[in-house]
A and B are shown apart, each in its own frame.
Chain A
């Protein structure tokens, strides 16, 4: 037994090392890819606008991708642990849509609000939507792995319909479309720093990882071993909602990200959160960096929103996971 655990742990850290290394590599690729050239020597010798591009656009953008990619994925992993359902994520529980509704409401009723205020409202909406979902599924008779996310998706669709209709009424629908889809092309210095909060939350999540693992085993078990189950659930959902609220305001929605990354990671290392979360964060960062590099090069010099790329590729990956899970 011990030997098996040892081997598993070693292969786990090997995978984590690989994921982290590719994240670092992609970090540097990301810094030097874009419509205008800013090579290392240009930046060092301060030739032309290279330095401005580097510090005002490339570096902030790359940091934002790392923070968003890892935190959205970690938020998904936490939700899956807490609901004991691997198809639950911010985009299949009404969380993202509620955050979008929050932003829509702020944009309509106080368009001049600061970004911090917008973020606060988005987070509050996200939390309300998520808790409604949690409240519902905890009392649902069916725990079918597919029925539970279906209900979350219906909830999300209803919330989104409300957001749409408000937007339509105030002629904001096209703008809603524009900022709902995740996109880093507008990320420059001074407009992404709130994402550091999200990064801090990811660290907090890691500190509480063991509690999420316990809560994921089940209510009775976790109460037996002395865990405050309800507080853990609500606390976890608050973390998830803050991540959803901030990322939706700063970069937009990244569909399926909180779903596919944790699923891939847990295929590799299993469900112990303390081992899972670092890998989820690393794959989340590396994967979104890769997707964003693709977004910048596929129609070079123009860009495709990264949310579209993730939405299409991620959807296909999710379908693959779904079909696989049902045929086994």
Chain B
């Protein structure tokens, strides 16, 4: 834990740039412009038929993508802060596999059509509650000791995720191929048909959590320095960590229940952020990562709709790019 934490401290040469934070401010402005550009392009490109209908439909999608991007990016940044390791992604601590298992079991038990026609609010709430309950249990099992041992929690979560995946593989085997096609739709994030009411509820939850994060931003900067330093500076490190795990869980669970898993988005956006901003201060990294993630999603969706005719899903593009970036990060770390 402490060993890896040193990696979060900016490498030499970048520390001088820190006080003025110019790179960070420039990056923030540029990415904000990119976001606005992406939104304008997405909203106005090639509108046919009713203008107001198209705009309303597209605005809803933009809102959903911005929310999902913001939430997952913030979750990833916070996760990197508490684990001191920037190549992890929080969805991997069993949350995505749990979501997939919930959907598969539901489809196998009641049939795909029943599940899809079921009240979306109930489906959403059940998925969110189960995912958050899971993280609370993880928290209770792995972090109950006086000293928090986050790597243990992360690996424990991943192992449980592996168990969920094994169960899913069995459940999927029982499904009729036609049923599976409908299930497949639930397993890959889609922004085309997002329930309006749920979008509002999710936004309220996420904004509330983000307000807490904003209030904690200075404590977070200290936590990122690692346990010994943080404690020396007077932060109750272990308590903050336990709280952050729960915040992260909500930040992952809500967007996942809303649209489906976008596992590598947080990883991609947060690492792009660290590169651009050359800082690990949270008042920069969280908004910058959020804007980056939203821009990436909107661009991915735009490319899919206009160039690939909806043949694939934005999470697929994000997965591919995220995978390449991950390998790149790993290889650079090696040097």
Contact = CB atoms under 8 A, between A and B. Distances in A.
A161 B323 contact: yes
Contacts of B175: 174
Interface string A148-180: 011101110111011011001100011001101
B320 A162 contact: yes
Contacts of B109: none
A175 B149 CA distance: 39
Most buried by A among B163, B167, B319, B326: B163
Interface in B259-312: 263-264, 311-312
Contacts of A153: 92, 155, 158
Interface magnitude class on chain A: 35 or more
A184 B165 CA distance: 19
Interface string A113-143: 0000000000000000000100110011111
A305 B170 contact: yes
Nearest to A133: B330
Contacts of B322: 158, 161
Given A141-B3, A154-B92, A322 B155 contact: yes
A23 to B, nearest CB: 24
Contacts of A140: 333-334
Where chain A touches its partner, the secondary structure class is helix
A311 B326 contact: no
A326 B149 contact: yes
Interface residues of B, number: 52
Contacts of A150: 85, 88, 151, 154-155, 158
B316 interface: yes
B330 A136 contact: yes
B21 interface: no
Contacts of B264: 158, 161
B162 A174 contact: no
B160 interface: yes
A146 interface: yes
Contacts of A318: 159
Contact of B151 (A146, A162, A312): A146
A147 B264 CA distance: 19
Contacts of A157: 92, 263
B326 A173 contact: no
Contacts of A142: 3-4
A304 interface: yes
B319 A181 contact: no
A236 interface: no
A315 interface: yes
Contact of A165 (B156, B168, B173, B319): B319
A162 B323 contact: yes
A323 interface: yes
Nearest to A149: B155
A206 interface: no
Given A132-B327, A322-B152, A322-B159, A255 B166 contact: yes
Contacts of B14: none
B212 interface: no
Interface in A306-327: 307-308, 310-312, 315-316, 318-319, 322-323, 326
Most buried by B among A173, A174, A255, A256: A174
B334 A135 contact: yes
A168 B156 contact: no
Contact of B326 (A141, A154, A304, A322): A154
Nearest to A180: B169
A318 B155 CA distance: 10
A205 B65 CA distance: 51
Contacts of A168: 184, 188, 312, 316
B88 A154 contact: yes
B177 interface: yes
A305 B169 contact: yes
A169 B158 contact: no
B124 interface: no
Contact of B152 (A136, A315, A323): A323
A136 B151 contact: no
Interface string B317-335: 0011011001100110111
Given A150-B151, A162-B323, A174-B177, 12 more contacts: A146-B151, A153-B158, A155-B327, A158-B322, A159-B323, A161-B264, A161-B319, A169-B312, A173-B184, A312-B166, A316-B163, A322-B155
Interface of B: 1, 3-4, 6-7, 85, 87-89, 92, 141-142, 149, 151-152, 154-156, 158-160, 162-163, 165-170, 172-173, 175, 177, 180, 184, 188, 263-264, 311-312, 316, 319-320, 322-323, 326-327, 330-331, 333-335
Interface of A: 87, 91, 132, 135-136, 139-144, 146-147, 149-151, 153-155, 157-159, 161-162, 164-165, 168-169, 173-174, 177-178, 180-181, 255-256, 304-305, 307-308, 310-312, 315-316, 318-319, 322-323, 326
21 contacts: A132-B327, A135-B334, A136-B330, A139-B334, A142-B4, A144-B4, A146-B151, A146-B155, A151-B87, A154-B326, A158-B322, A159-B323, A161-B263, A161-B264, A164-B319, A168-B188, A174-B180, A308-B167, A310-B166, A311-B167, A312-B163
